[in-house]
C-alpha cells in the first residue's frame, strides 16, 4: 500500500526534489552514481515505469488519489506519496502543476553508443541542441516516425530535463538514447556502419527527397543547434548535405519541425 503523507511542512526531507532545485543538482545528487529526474504528468510517469525506471516518491494533488491516479500510485509500491491542494503544490514547486502529479525517479547509467545503435537502421544525432522543448519534440518525432535511436553530443539539453520529458510525452523512455562524446561524432557513427546525412543549408545540398540517403541500409541524420546549425566540420564530414526545400523566402525550419519532416522522408519507408 502507498504511504500517503499530507503536506504540512515544506522542509520535509523527501520534498527537496520538488522544490526549486536545479536540474544539475538533481542529476548529480547521488554521485558517483547517476542522480534523479522528475517526471511530470500521469502518462509520462506511467511510461517511465513501463521502461523500468525506479520511483522514489510522488507529489500529487489530492484529487489524484482517486480514479486512474490511484492505480498509478498503487503501482509505485510503498514509496512516500505527498499530497496537497493545487495551490499548496504550486507554492512548493514554484510553477503551476497543470496535470497534478510529479514523480522523482532514479536515473540509470547510460549505455554506450554502440550498444544503443546495435541493430538500428535509422538514428538521429543531435549536436548542441540546448532548448528542452526542441529536444523533447525531436524525441517524440523520432519515436512516432520509426527512428530506432538518438545520440546527443555534449552541450545538448538533458533529455530527462523535466520540460523535455513532458514535451516528448514520455517517448524519451521508449526510444533508446545516449551521449555521443568526442570531437568527431561523424567518424564515430560511420565506424558503426552508418551512412551520414547532415541537415544543412549549404549551396551544394541535395533536396530531402533525393533518393540516395533514403536508400542507405543504415543512416544517421545529423541535426544542429538552434540558430547556428551543425558545425562546419560536422557538415563536411557527412556523406550527404541535405536540405528541406522552402517556399515564400523562408530559409529554414525550427530544428524540431525539421526533424519531423526529415524523419518522415528518411525513415523506414525508404523515402517513398
**CATH class of this structure's domain 3-106:** alpha beta
The pLDDT-based confidence of 271 (bands split at 50, 70, 90) is very low
Instruction: Please report the DSSP string for 45-59 in residue order.
Output: HHHHHHTTPEEEEEE
How many residues would you count in the chain?
A: 272
Q: Give ranges for CATH 3.30.1330.30 in the chain.
A: 3-106
Which tens digits make up the pLDDT trace of 215-243? 999 999 999 987 788 999 999 999 999 99
Which tens digits make up the pLDDT trace of 151-200? 999 889 999 998 899 999 999 999 999 999 988 999 999 999 999 999 99
Which tens digits make up the pLDDT trace of 33-87? 778 899 999 999 999 999 999 999 999 988 888 877 888 889 998 899 999 888 8
Radius of gyration of the chain (CA): 21
Q: State the fold for domain 113-266.
A: Alpha/beta knot (3.40.1280)
Q: Give ranges for CATH 3.40.1280.10 in the chain.
A: 113-266
Residue 119 and residue 116: Cα distance in Å, rounded?
A: 9
CA atoms within 13 A on the CB side of 109: 6
- Average predicted confidence (pLDDT) for the chain: 89
Which tens digits make up the pLDDT trace of 131-149? 999 999 999 999 999 999 9
Amino acid at each position: 500500500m502507498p504511504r500517503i503523507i499530507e503536506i504540512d511542512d515544506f522542509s520535509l526531507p523527501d520534498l527537496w526534489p520538488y522544490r526549486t532545485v536545479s536540474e544539475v543538482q538533481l542529476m548529480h545528487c547521488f554521485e558517483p552514481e547517476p542522480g534523479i529526474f522528475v517526471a511530470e504528468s500521469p502518462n509520462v510517469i506511467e511510461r517511465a515505469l513501463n521502461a523500468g525506471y525506479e520511483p522514489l516518491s510522488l507529489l500529487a494533488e489530492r484529487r489524484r488519489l482517486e480514479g486512474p491516479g490511484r492505480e498509478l500510485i498503487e503501482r509505485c509500491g510503498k514509496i512516500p506519496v505527498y499530497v496537497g491542494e493545487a495551490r499548496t503544490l504550486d507554492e512548493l514547486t514554484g510553477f503551476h502543476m497543470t496535470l497534478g502529479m510529479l514523480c522523482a525517479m532514479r536515473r540509470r547509467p547510460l549505455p554506450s553508443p554502440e550498444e544503443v545503435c546495435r541493430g538500428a537502421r535509422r538514428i538521429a544525432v543531435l549536436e548542441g541542441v540546448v532548448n528542452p522543448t526542441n529536444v523533447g519534440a525531436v524525441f517524440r518525432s523520432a519515436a512516432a516516425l520509426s527512428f530506432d535511436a538518438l545520440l546527443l553530443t555534449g552541450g545538448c539539453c538533458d533529455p530527462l530535463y523535466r520540460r523535455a520529458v513532458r514535451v516528448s510525452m514520455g517517448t524519451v523512455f521508449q526510444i533508446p538514447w545516449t551521449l555521443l562524446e568526442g570531437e568527431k561524432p561523424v567518424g564515430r557513427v560511420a565506424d558503426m556502419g552508418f551512412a551520414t546525412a547532415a541537415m544543412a543549408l549549404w549551396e551544394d545540398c541535395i533536396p530531402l527527397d533525393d533518393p540516395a540517403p533514403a536508400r542507405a541500409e543504415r543512416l544517421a541524420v545529423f541535426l544542429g543547434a538552434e540558430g547556428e546549425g551543425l558545425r562546419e566540420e560536422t557538415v563536411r564530414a557527412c556523406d550527404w548535405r541535405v536540405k528541406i526545400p522552402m517556399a515564400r523566402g523562408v530559409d529554414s525550419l525550427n530544428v524540431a519541425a525539421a526533424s519531423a519532416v526529415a524523419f518522415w522522408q528518411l525513415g523506414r519507408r525508404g523515402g517513398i
